[in-house]
Amino acid sequence: MDTFLISTGVVAVAEIGDKTQLLALILAARFRRPLPIILGIFVATVLNHFAAGWIGQQVAGMISPLILRWIIGLGFLAIAAWALVPDEMGEEEAQIKPYGAFLATAVAFFLAEIGDKTQVVTVALALKYQPLWAVIAGTTLGMMIADVPAVFVGKWIAARMHILRYVRFVAAAVFALLGVLALLGVGG
């Protein structure tokens, strides 16, 4: 039980203010379907954290922190540039089938978690604590505790679509800052 509780707490705290919280907010505003988004976050997190934990137990320390820092930093800068491109969503486009929101969320979250601090934390927890299933269950619950409220905030924002014009600029600025900080090695 200690492994589960430690994993939950560490990831819930690590996820606060993370890019995936912003992603949850943006996806909820875009798709306006909280349940498929929450399920997509859950599935992506289980798969990503299982892979991270398993890999962490198998090949600890094989990736250079410097290389990882550059990959993450450049990735954030690319996402910042992408966020500046206005969304061409029309009102009829917002009516997307539930599996469309689910698939988009699952894929986006899985990819966003690659090299993320919560994935690194999952690797570290899997190295230190056993059994692996308790680590994964805990890290997944921690992600859900942090990201599900962002989904409901995003749904609230979607009802006020005029706000979304500004969200992309804020998102671009946040991702650009994260990219620069990662390249400078801050927080790593």
Q: What is the pLDDT of residues 43-98, one digit of tens each?
A: 999 999 898 888 766 665 666 767 766 766 676 676 667 656 654 444 444 444 55
Distance of CA 5 to the CA centre of its chain: 21
Q: How far is CA 153 from CA 14, 23, 27, 43, 120, in A?
A: 19, 12, 11, 21, 27
Q: Under 8 Å CB-to-CB from 183, ≥6 apart: which residues? A: 69, 70, 73, 74, 77
Give the count of beta carbons closer than 10 Å to the beta carbon of residue 45.
28
Range from 24-28, 86-90, 154-158, 183-187 that averages highest in pLDDT: 24-28
Q: What is the mean pLDDT of the chain?
A: 76
Burial code (b: 16+ CB inside 10 Å, e: under 16) for 143-156 equals: bbbbbbebbeebbe
- pLDDT for 153 beyond 70: yes
Question: What's this model's pTM, rounded to 2 decimal places?
Answer: 0.63
Q: What is the pLDDT of residue 41?
A: 93
List CB contacts of 77: < 8 A, sequence separation 6 or more. Answer: 175, 176, 179, 180, 183
